[in-house]
Structure 1
Amino acid sequence: MRIACVGGGPSGLYFAVLAAIRSGGRDEIVVHERNPAGRTHGFAVTFGEDLLDEAFRYDPAGGPALRDAARLWSAQEIRVADHPAAHVGGKYGYSIARVELLDVLARRAQQLGVRIEYGTTAGRDEVDADVIVAADGIASSVREARAEHFGTTIDEGANRYVWLGAESDSDTFVWDFQRTDAGWVWIHLYPSSNGLSTCIVECEPETWAGLGLDGAPPADTVRLVESVFGRTLAGRRIVEPPGGLGEQPWLRFKEVRNRTWRDGEVVLAGDAAHTTHFGIGSGTVLAMQDSMALADALYGPGRGGGATGGAATGGGARVDVVDLNDPDGRGAALAAYDARRRAQVTPVQDMARRNMHWFEQAGRQLDRVEDPVDFAWSLADRRGDLGRIHYQLHRATQIPALRQVRRGLTTARRVRRAARRAATGRPEGDGA
């Protein structure tokens, strides 16, 4: 079988890895990436334990490289104006520079015999393959060529945001909300694996216009952020993204949805299929889980398949192995991927939309803040999925001694999960 992945981001590269493993090297797999090797956008991406567990199960030889390249952050603080910082307990995660993640995946894919063609663009009509995975991002050219068939809708959020970096090496994930003469502006700052932190700046449209950012040169954005968030940055320099900020660095979030993810031999994956607001940090996780689900649909649950607690394969339901040399068999597998995975992602997008709306109304809450701990709770529960017991734990976490106890328990759980992952072992003859 011939497989073409259009787009060398996390979804395209990871599916190429899994397809190479599942096919035992029998399938011809090519990744077409428009950028040169080593060039990408943005700074760091985040993920949690669940993705690591899945990565170790789906590719025991490659999973450790992902963990080794990632950076752990183990605390989270929420700062509002001059109030004392509030703490969110039990929260930790992993961050990795996007360029390093792509390097890890690309090296693993090439080790398995995948051909990566950098600096090439490929539309549907330019690719000769039995399966075409359109993983070419939010502005997917493959999807846009048949947008009516896919039923693509793109809705924009109201707020403005800009993606920056900062010369910060802290292990703490920080939210900082500060008032300006034109309204509230906030950042979330989290560490990366390459000595830089990702710094996403966001504000409501009225604030953005009131600060004159709608017509200001990009350098004014950098000066504003360094000035407004001086306490958190502590003199550390803001870094522009690769390629610079451009003429208009401030963006509006675009939520991509599709009525179907399949058109004949073409399937969508990653941001080409769906986007979720950056406030929940799920984009890379969902993209790689798309790859797992597609590998399961085509090849049947292999090592790790169906064992993800429903994250990738729909509750562990069995996926029938089909004859991939038969076009009807391939079509049935792609249709199964479309139906199952789209149904799983839709609730996540709904949750992410609630998160986006929370930020679009954040200024109203911030104007009334008297207790930063309660505001921090509202932020933590912005998706509406926490209960009363979590609120009580949140209040207790503000006490330093109890916060240390909770962090100790979290660390113990993390160590146990890491030990379970290590026990998966490495297949003989398949060095990473």
Structure 2
Amino acid sequence: MKVACVGGGPAGLYFASLLKRTDPACEVTVYERYPEGSTYGWGVTYWDELYANLRAIDPESAHAIRDASVRWKTWVARVGDQPPARISHWDGGFGIGRSVLLAILADRARSLGVDIEYGREISGEEELADCDLIVACDGVNSGLRERHAGHFGTAVTAGRNAYLWLGTTKAFGPFTFSFADTPYGWIWCYGYGYDPGHSTCVIECSPETWEGLGLHEATDADGLAMLEKLFADILDGHPLIGRDDAGESARWLNFRTVTNERWYHGNVVLMGDAAHTTHYSIGAGTALALGDAAYLVHALTTERDLPSALASYERGRQRTIRRAQKAARYSARWYENLPRYVHLPPDQLLALLGQRHSPVLPHVPPRLYYRFDRAVEQASSWWSRITGRG
């Protein structure tokens, strides 16, 4: 089988490696429009569950990813002028530079015999007419998907809040939240390390705050200077960085949730952000993309023919993605409704932040929900102690 992956992000590179590892006779080529080593963004997050899955599927790449990652075990929140609150019983996570992750996956793919063509943009499937399968993993703005948006049933929904994806030379130890009060409303940041000397900082606020602060018309330099002042409490004098490895300046955006009713059309199949997006606040984008890759390889190598494999992939992954997108919608709405929660004591705010996926929370007074949640937690702890089922 001859296979083309359009897009050299994590999904495409991991899929190419797994398929070539499973079936070395396949001819697999990855086409990436950007030059090698040029990528947008800073660090990405993942969790213990993903690492365990990667290690079970392809230990070599999993170990390389783990060795290049930094880990946090605690979480800290600063709310206005209040003392910081720390929480340690949440699960820890990992951060890794996006460029480092891509380099690891590209090296692994090449070692297995995958061809990677950088600086090559594919605008239509007719350019790949000799391929048996075309995997469209060309991101949220997928050109291959847009050509058949009517067939795929593509829907794109924009979130209300504005956000900005930045880097910094401040190396955060804990995963760090900071909520700053301004005359125009709250603006917040969360940061996590991805190598010993750098972290990702995601800034978010309501459109009213964004415009009130003048961020909608500020120059790049003025905007960064304002944000550095607002979040001086966590940056400790370190700068925010707005220009990424691709040489592109960060831009304020509204997060776009992409859904598709169908994931394949003929021999073209969607994967990763081309098929689905989930709000960044749940930190699941990379894990879901790599999960797509593993599931598609499994379907291709176990089903009787290509149509059956693509149908199996679509059914199986859509179930997983629907659950994740539902959780992401509630998470995004929690931040969109931040004024409902931000005046709580920091420990209660953090507790409800941890419950932001709940469909019940938006409909219950926050303090009442917190007291109920604590009562349930204490009862569960008591039951575990007396039954020995901890």
User: Residue 350 of structure 1 aligns to which amino acid in structure 2?
Assistant: K
Give the deviation of 1:52 after TM superposition.
0.9
Give the deviation of 1:391 after TM superposition.
3.9
1:14-48 Cα deviation digits (max 9, x unpaired):
0001001110x100000000010001000000001
User: Residue 284 of structure 2 aligns to which amino acid in structure 1?
Assistant: S
Question: What is the alpha-carbon distance in structure 2 between the residues aligned to residue 239 and residue 142 of structure 1?
Answer: 32
Contact preservation (8 Å) 2:170, 2:236:
no
Contact preservation (8 Å) 2:172, 2:191:
no
Give the deviation of 1:194 after TM superposition.
5.5
From 379, 382, 404, the equivalent of 2:353 is 379
From 226, 229, 234, the equivalent of 2:228 is 226
Question: What is the alpha-carbon distance in structure 1 between the residues aligned to residue 71 and residue 236 of structure 2?
Answer: 21
Question: What is the alpha-carbon distance in structure 2 between the residues aligned to residue 95 and residue 332 of structure 1?
Answer: 36
Corresponding residue number in structure 2 for 1:352:
328
Indicate how the Cα distance of structure 1 residues 67 and 185 shifts in structure 2: closer, same or farther if over 3 A, else same. Answer: same
Q: Which runs of 4+ in 1 moved over 6 A?
A: 385-390, 392-395
Question: What is the alpha-carbon distance in structure 2 between the residues aligned to residue 226 and residue 392 of structure 1?
Answer: 40
Structure 2's unaligned 5+ residue stretches are: 362-369, 379-390
Corresponding residue number in structure 2 for 1:295:
297
Give the deviation of 1:13 after TM superposition.
0.3
Corresponding residue number in structure 2 for 1:75:
74
> In the comparison of the two structures, how many residue pairs are matched?
365
Question: What is the alpha-carbon distance in structure 2 between the residues aligned to residue 39 and residue 388 of structure 1?
Answer: 49
1:135-179 Cα deviation digits (max 9, x unpaired):
000000010111111000000000001011111122211010010
User: Residue 18 of structure 1 aligns to which amino acid in structure 2?
Assistant: L
Corresponding residue number in structure 2 for 1:40:
39
Give the deviation of 1:364 after TM superposition.
3.4
Indicate how the Cα distance of structure 1 residues 352 and 178 shifts in structure 2: closer, same or farther if over 3 A, else same. Answer: same
From 255, 279, 282, the equivalent of 1:280 is 282
Q: CA RMSD in A?
A: 1.9
Structure 1's unaligned 5+ residue stretches are: 301-320, 323-328, 396-432
Question: What is the alpha-carbon distance in structure 2 between the residues aligned to residue 394 and residue 106 of structure 1?
Answer: 45
Indicate how the Cα distance of structure 1 residues 298 and 230 shifts in structure 2: closer, same or farther if over 3 A, else same. Answer: same
Q: Report 1:28-427 matches (<5 A).
A: 28-90=27-89, 91-122=91-122, 123-127=124-128, 128-193=130-195, 195-242=197-244, 243=246, 246=249, 249-300=251-302, 321-322=303-304, 329-366=305-342, 369-384=343-358, 391=374
User: Residue 92 of structure 1 aligns to which amino acid in structure 2?
Assistant: G
Give the deviation of 1:110 after TM superposition.
0.1
Contact preservation (8 Å) 2:45, 2:286:
yes
Question: What is the alpha-carbon distance in structure 2 between the residues aligned to residue 393 and residue 343 of structure 1?
Answer: 29
Give the deviation of 1:365 after TM superposition.
2.5
Normalised TM-score (structure 1): 0.81
Contact preservation (8 Å) 2:71, 2:94:
yes
Percentage of pairs with the same residue: 41
Name the one with the larger strand percent.
2
Contact preservation (8 Å) 2:73, 2:88:
no
Normalised TM-score (structure 2): 0.90
1:265-305 Cα deviation digits (max 9, x unpaired):
111010000001010110000000000100110113xxxxx
